[in-house]
A = this chain, B = another copy of it.
Amino acid sequence: MSMSAARERLVVIGGDAAGMSAASQARRLKGPDELEIVAFERGHFTSYSACGIPYWVGGDVEERDRLIARTPEEHRARDIDLRMRTEVTEIDVANGRVRARDVDSGEESWTSYDKLVIATGARPIRPDMPGADAPGVHGVQTLDDGQALLDSLARTRGRRAVVVGAGYIGVEMAEAMINRGYEVTVVNRGSEPMSTLDPDMGRLVHDAMQGMGIAMVNDAEVTKILTGEDGRVRAVATEAAEYPADVVVLGIGVRPETALAKAAGLPLGAHGGLLTDLAMRVRGYENIWAGGDCVEVLDLVSGQERHIALGTHANKHGQVIGANAGGDYATFPGVVGTAVSKVCDLEIARTGLREKDARRAGLQYVTVTIESTSRAGYYPNAAPMTVKMLAERRTGRLLGVQIVGREGAGKRVDIAAVALTAGMTVEQMTALDLGYAPPFSPVWDPVLVAARKATAKVRAS
C-alpha cells in the first residue's frame, strides 16, 4: 500500500500508560489522513493499571479486566494500528526504523518511522539466586504476573507467604496476602520498611505492620530460595535464617527497561533511564520521545535526575509526548517525588527529599516531627498521624514531608506537594488557608502544625 508523502508515521514502542496515552493524544490532534500511528506491545494487554495489581490479587478488585483502561480493540477503533504480542528488538536510529518480532511466530520485520515514542517501561529486579525461578515464586509487575500468582495461590495448600522487599509493592502485597488469609512474613534488606521514608518514619510502618500480625524481618538479604522435592518453593533463606513459604512474592522494585535504547546509542542517565528534555524528547533527537517507567525525571527539589516508576507520571508523560508528536506543545517540568500507599488501614505518604537526599544534594536542613489527628480531636474516629517535615536551614524552604497515619492521613501529602512545587517556605505554609471543619481536620491541620514547628526551628538554625 502506498502512502501519500504528506502522511507521517508515528511508531510507539510499548502499549501501556505512557505509550498509549501518547498515541491517543496524538490521534486527537491529527487524524489518520495526516498521521499514521503504529504501536507495538509484546504482551497481551494495553493501557492497564499495574498499580492496581495488588488489589486484584488481594481480592478488592474482582476481575482483571477492571484494571484495563482501554483494550487493544478500543485503541484500534481510534485508528491506532496496534500490533499485540509483537516485540521491538532493535531501533535503527540512522535509518529511522524499528525491527519487530512476532512473539508467537518468531517472524521479524522492519517498520520505518517519522516520529518515534519509546515507552518500554521497567522490568522488575529479580534476584540472581538459586531458586528464584521456582514454581511458587512470583513477581507482580504485569497482569500476566498477577494472573500467575492468583493461579498459584489457587493451587497452594499452605498458608504461609513470604514477601521479599518492603517498598510500596512489598507492603501492598503484604496487605493483599493478609486479605487472602495468609500468614505473611516480609523480608527486607533495609534497616526499616519503606526506604522511601527516613528510617525513623519507616520504624512507624514497621511497628504498625507488626501490629497487624505481619512478621517483619529487617536487615535481611535473601540468599537463596529453597525448593521441596516437588521443585516448588518451600522457604526463603537469608544469611541468618530460613522462612518457610508456600508462596513467595518478589517486590524488590524495578529498573528502567532500556536495553533497546542503549543498543541504539540513546542517552541514558545514572539510574539507567532515558534522558529527555522538558518536552520529553530524547536529548539530542528531534523526532524521538520517551516517557513512563523507562525515563529519568528531574527532581524539582534536589535539581537531580531520578527514576520513579509510577503510573501517574507515565500518563502525564504520554499526554505531553502526544501533544508534541501531534504538532502541539506541552512540557513535563519534573516531579517532587510524591507517593502514597497503604497497608490495611495504615496510610503512608511522602514527598520531596528525605534526610539523605538533602545531604546528597548539599543542602543543610532542619527536621521536625509532630503528632496530630486527621480530624478534630473530639470528633469520632479522629485517627492519629505523624508528620515529619524537612526545611532548608536559613531560607526555610520546604524540602520534604513524610506522613504515617490512619484514615485521612495519606492524601494530606498533596498540600506539601503543591507547596514544594511552588517553592514555598515553611513560614509561608503556616498561613495556608486549608479546608477546616471538625470531621476533616483539627483547627490547625497537621501539616500546618509541622510547618509552625519547622518555622521556629529554622529561625534558631
Contact = CB atoms under 8 A, between A and B. Distances in A.
Listed from nearest, the 8 A-B pairs whose CB atoms lie closest are A340-B435, A422-B422, A312-B436, A418-B418, A66-B378, A338-B433, A335-B433, A336-B433
A416 to B, nearest CB: 9
A418 B432 contact: yes
Interface stretch (A76-84, A127-135, A205-213, A407-415): A407-415
A340 B17 contact: no
Given A49-B438, A415-B418, A424-B422, A380 B340 contact: no
Most B-side CB within 10 Å, residue of A49, A61, A351, A438: A438
A201 to B, nearest CB: 15
Contacts of A335: 433
Interface string A318-345: 0100000000000111011111111000
28 contacts: A49-B376, A51-B436, A51-B437, A52-B379, A52-B438, A55-B438, A60-B379, A61-B379, A310-B436, A311-B436, A312-B445, A331-B431, A333-B431, A336-B433, A337-B433, A338-B433, A338-B434, A339-B435, A340-B435, A342-B439, A410-B435, A411-B435, A417-B434, A418-B418, A418-B434, A421-B424, A421-B433, A422-B424
Interface of A: 17, 49, 51-52, 55, 60-61, 66-67, 168, 172, 310-313, 315-316, 319, 331-333, 335-342, 349, 351, 376, 378-380, 408, 410-415, 417-419, 421-422, 424, 428, 430-441, 443-445, 452
Contact of A52 (B336, B337, B376, B413): B376
Contacts of A376: 49, 51-52
Contacts of A422: 418-419, 421-422, 424
A310 B443 CA distance: 9
A342 B435 contact: no
A444 B52 contact: no
A353 to B, nearest CB: 13
A49 B443 contact: yes
